[in-house]
Structure 1
Amino acid sequence: MTDVVDSDELLRRMHRARSRALEEGRHWRARSEELRSTDPEASREAAVRTVAYEAVLRVLDEVLTPGRNAR
């Protein structure tokens, strides 16, 4: 990660990271629900991952569109 990138490339990378965080959050949420009745421990693990990806998503949203999601 020592390459110098211009602002457009940095913005593209952040948008890709946001899309990936959204996908991963959905995946882990579904996995948590799927495991809830059969494996509660794995369901909790998936729920923790869901929360982590949601946090990443909130940070990237604020970086990419400051103030848009202000509470």
Structure 2
Amino acid sequence: MTDVVDADELLRRIRVARDWAAEREAEAGSLPGTGEGADPTAAGVDRVVFSVVREVLDEIINPGTHSRSR
């Protein structure tokens, strides 16, 4: 990646990534995990991972608005 981007473009890209992570988090949370070959533990891990990614990107966009007590 050799593109030079300004702060507005960087913020736009972070927001797009945050929205994508939120969508994946919702998808992982709605998966029943009961289909053939499905692993309910993996679906739960996916949900947690995407949740953490979304929270980190939220903190970048809005610093200091999230709890650090976790």
TM-score, structure 1 normalization: 0.84
- Secondary structure (helix, strand or coil) at the match of 2:39 reads helix
Matches within 5 A, 1:34-45: 34-36=32-34, 42-45=39-42
- Listed as ranges, the gaps of 5+ residues in structure 1 are none
Query: Whole-Å Cα distance in 2 between the matches of residues 8 and 58 of structure 1?
Result: 20
Query: Whole-Å Cα distance in 2 between the matches of residues 2 and 24 of structure 1?
Result: 28
State the superposition RMSD in angstroms: 1.8
Matches within 5 A, 1:1-71: 1-31=1-31, 34-36=32-34, 42-71=39-68
TM-score, structure 2 normalization: 0.85
- Listed as ranges, the gaps of 5+ residues in structure 2 are none
Give the drift of 1:70. Answer: 2.5
Size of the aligned set, in residue pairs, is 68
More helix as a share of residues: 1
